[in-house]
Amino acid sequence: MREITQLEWEILEAEEEEWVEVTMAPPADEPRPAHRQWLAKLLGSVALLATLSGMIGYRLVQDAEAGIAATERHIGTLVQVETIRQPPSGAAQAVSSAVDTVLVKGNGAMVRVVVTETSSLGRVLPHIETRFYERCPAGWRRTEPIPAFWGEPAVLETPTLHFEFYELDRPYVEAVAEPIDTYHVALRQILGLAALAVTGRVTVAVTTNYVAPGTVPPDGTLVEPSPYLYFAAPPGREGPLLYAEAETTLLHRLQAQLRTRTIQESRDVYGIQVMWQPLAGHLEFWLREHAAELPALARGGSLQEDRFVWPAQALVTLTGEHMNSTQLAEDLAHRSDVIAFSAHAFFDFLAADRGPDAIPALLAAFG
């Protein structure tokens, strides 16, 4: 006998949002899509690589700092050994040194060293100098300047000068460019020389090696070593010093080169006779002593002359036969001092009383 199964249906009442939630939710055990699995693995790999990179970078920084510290210690010891081996110079009774900065580039190092000399009177005279070292099997050894530290070549032009230098020296060149150009213009004007054309600029080369003062190659370029190679006063230092600051030294050395060059040009232009050449030399010394006043003098400013010696007396002293008749060494030295003093007084009077135009007139009379 067949049993009859009876089904009972019941329709539940629910909101539409509930039906959507029930019917659209995937089963809990449904696998993720493949692209989501790939993205999760990628993010995990990136996080792992970032962690490893950070650890490696930190280790490299530690190693680099340890290497720099070891280099500074090694070079510092080498500097001390050099100081011990180098006997005091001049009036210095004791010399000490300390490393200021160390810059390493490849297998070379540029080191700024503060050297302090103490005189027998107890006066402390510090100066700063730059030394160069290169790696060797034993560690480091002193070497010539390494050009790589100066960077790329550069140029700078003023109305009368063309500078060729390297980026490391840019602050020094830019600092002296305007004042040295102003000095050059005034110097030529006081000597009565024509103004330079743009194509006639004097070339100044600031090099990366040691150069003797006054070095002029055949092409007429004025050559100066980098200010980093000068023995210079430490920045901001006051009181008695052995050397000027590097910027001041560069300015004075360029003034000297331009002065010698311009005086020689005036000799050629005016055709100064041999008998008057010494007086032209004294004029060069006078220009050196009044270097700071030349720009103002060229613009018509006044000059306070030396009244200890009157012009006529100075001229007699410079041209008198009795000044050329002595033979004794002490008399020769005395004569030299008297002539130099008299020449200085004479040119002081000439510029102060007659104006700067009197100097080229005098040079023309020497021709």
pLDDT band of residue 79 (cuts 50, 70, 90) is confident
Instruction: Quote the tokens at residue 359.
Output: 């100097």
Give the dihedral sign, CA 190/177/288/220: negative
Per-residue pLDDT tens digits for 226-254: 999 998 888 766 666 678 889 999 999 99
Mean pLDDT confidence for 311-338 = 51
User: Which residues have CB under 8 Å from 253's CB, separation 6+?
Assistant: 213, 224
Per-residue pLDDT tens digits for 175-188: 999 999 999 999 99
In a domain, 185, yes or no: yes
Residue 333 has pLDDT above 60, yes or no: no
The Cα–Cα gap between 53 and 45 comes to 12
Residue 61 has pLDDT above 50, yes or no: no
Residue 140 is predicted with a pLDDT of 86
In a domain, 220, yes or no: yes
Mean pLDDT confidence for 75-93 = 76
For 245, the domain range is 149-253
Per mean pLDDT, which range of 74-83, 132-141, 178-187, 215-224 is the poorest? 74-83
The Cα–Cα gap between 60 and 104 comes to 17
In a domain, 282, yes or no: yes
Q: Are residues 283 and 335 in the same domain?
A: yes
Longest pairwise C-alpha distance within the chain: 168
Residue 363 has pLDDT above 70, yes or no: yes
Instruction: Quote the tokens at residue 250.
Output: 């560069």
Mean pLDDT confidence for 165-174 = 97
The Cα–Cα gap between 148 and 169 comes to 13
User: Which residues have CB under 8 Å from 266's CB, separation 6+?
Assistant: 191, 192, 193, 272, 280, 360, 363
Residue 237 is predicted with a pLDDT of 67
The Cα–Cα gap between 354 and 47 comes to 85
Question: Of 198, 220, 253, which closes a domain?
Answer: 253
Residue 325 has pLDDT above 50, yes or no: no
CB 256 within 8 A of CB 213: yes
Mean pLDDT confidence for 163-191 = 96
Q: Are residues 366 and 281 in the same domain?
A: yes
Q: Are residues 248 and 165 in the same domain?
A: yes
Residue 322 is predicted with a pLDDT of 43
